[in-house]
Amino acid sequence: MTPPRPPRSKSATDPSLAVTPPRSRRVLITGVGRFWGANLARQLERDHALDFVCGIDTRDPLGEFGRTEVVKGDIRNPAVSRLINVTRVDTVVHTQIFGADRPGESGRTLHDMNVIGTMNLLAACAASPFVRKVVIRSSTAIYGASPRDPAFFTEDMEAKAPLRDMYSRDIREVETYARDFAERAPHAAVTILRFANSIGENVDTAFTRYISSQIVPTLAGFNPRLQFIQDSDAVDALAHAVRTWKPGTFNVAGPGAVTLSKFLRMAGRIQVPLIPPMMGPIMGLLERADLLYVPSRYDRTLKYGRGVSTDRMIEEFGFVPEYDTRQAAEQYAAWIRTRRYHEGGEAYLDRELLDYVQRKMHQMPSLDAGLFGRIAPRFDPDRADRTKDSNLEDAEFTTTATRVRTDAALDDEDDDLAGHDEESMD
């Protein structure tokens, strides 16, 4: 006799009893002294579904915040573990991963901050009973750049050539530690976002300064394909990762691509092609003169370019950027062309113009409905036709009167001449 089957659990048959992912309530953001962390904090603090938003950075906070609590500290400090436990945050957004963007920034210090800081932060998350989600701001620099690259990298691909710059190697190590953390803490969702180069009027990086300079040195014979992500879209993608439960690795970029020469033409920049042997010495002279600084991590990117697939970002991550790469490039190029009106020595002209307009607006009397109706009467087609006919009649009358006056003047002139002749004969 066959033993009866054990009854299946109700949870296996009733999808309504499936466990729903926990929702973020308390968020810790690293890197609030830079654009990405600061703007993410400002966006999340307006979300009333969140109970607590905290930011940490070694730098001073970038701008003012509302209800975000800012802590000035180093994520390499073991005290960050106590910070996570005391604040009871359930979501950690790690945006404090950077490369050298200005001359003199120590690559070793940035390496320690990127790698050692990430290791310490993830260890603190693993030891916390509250953390359920970790979001990492990574970069598409992990794919490198080489002549053997595919048209678009997918998230499952790896670099086709060894990574030569320290920042790309840091990104690879950070992602390795993040995946190890995901294996050790299966209860937590780990979302890795690989961002393309962010552009926008509020982003100040070595890359944006390079492509927006008046004269842009490029490599002769190379026209790399580039991908961008609008600055507002980059912040929205981080916020989307906080509000949703989407573990995995995703490329974040505007769909499509644009070549470097095309962008420079859109922005009205002067492109100066240089042969490869001259590129290094000239860039060194520009750096020493404090005119232009391009970190070594962009050398191969500005030579071969890079493209990434955004299919998984749209289909699985569920995020669609407002701007594709071309639209982001066009908007940034338009801002570059008019930047001289907003900053620099001519900025006072805009302020003077706006101040004058404001003063005149306050001095001018307000126009009520009656006065405005007398000044600008409503358009009436019949009235317009009547006015047109009246104008035509007036014109005909004026022409006729002028002709009559002219004929009368000629008659008078003939009479005068005749009188003059009679007097002469007398």
Asked if the model's pLDDT at residue 331 lies above 60, the reply is yes
Q: Specify if 367 maps to a domain.
A: no
- pLDDT value, residue 338: 87
- pLDDT value, residue 342: 59
Q: Specify if 368 maps to a domain.
A: no
Interval 160-185: pLDDT, tens:
999 989 999 999 999 999 999 999 99
Helix (H) or strand (E) holding 193: strand 189-195
State how many domains the chain has.
1
Q: What token pair was written down for 105? A: 């920034």
pTM as predicted? 0.76
**pLDDT: is 13 or 134 the higher one?**
134
Asked if the model's pLDDT at residue 237 lies above 90, the reply is yes
Give residue 366's pLDDT band: very low, low, confident or very high (50, 70, 90): very low
Q: Which domain holds residue 298?
A: 21-346
Give residue 106's pLDDT band: very low, low, confident or very high (50, 70, 90): confident
Give residue 12's pLDDT band: very low, low, confident or very high (50, 70, 90): very low
- How many residues does the structure list for the chain? 426
Interval 370-390: pLDDT, tens:
444 444 444 444 554 555 555
User: Mean per-residue pLDDT for 95-124?
Assistant: 90
Q: Specify if 14 maps to a domain.
A: no
- pLDDT value, residue 97: 94
CATH of the domain at 116: 3.40.50.720
pLDDT, averaged across the chain: 83
User: Mean per-residue pLDDT for 211-224?
Assistant: 94
**DSSP states of 222-278 as a string?**
---EE-EEEHHHHHHHHHHHHHS---EEEEE--SS-EEHHHHHHHHT-EEEEE-HHH
Q: Residue 53: beta bridge partners?
A: 27
Q: Specify if 409 maps to a domain.
A: no
User: What are the start-end ranges of the H helices in 88-165?
Assistant: 107-111, 117-127
Using a 10 angstrom Cβ sphere, with 0-12 exposed, 13-18 middle and 19 or more buried, the burial of residue 312 is: middle
Q: Specify if 378 maps to a domain.
A: no
- pLDDT value, residue 365: 54
Using a 10 angstrom Cβ sphere, with 0-12 exposed, 13-18 middle and 19 or more buried, the burial of residue 87 is: middle
User: Mean per-residue pLDDT for 63-68?
Assistant: 90
User: Mean per-residue pLDDT for 79-108?
Assistant: 91
Asked if the model's pLDDT at residue 409 lies above 60, the reply is no
Q: Specify if 402 maps to a domain.
A: no
- pLDDT value, residue 373: 47
User: Mean per-residue pLDDT for 73-92?
Assistant: 95
Q: Specify if 328 maps to a domain.
A: yes
Please say whether the beta carbons of 286 and 209 come within 8 A: no
Helix (H) or strand (E) holding 219: strand 215-219
Interval 260-311: pLDDT, tens:
999 999 999 999 999 988 998 999 999 898 889 999 889 999 999 999 999 9
Q: Specify if 2 maps to a domain.
A: no
- Spatial separation of the C-alpha atoms in residues 157 and 10, rounded to whole Å: 41
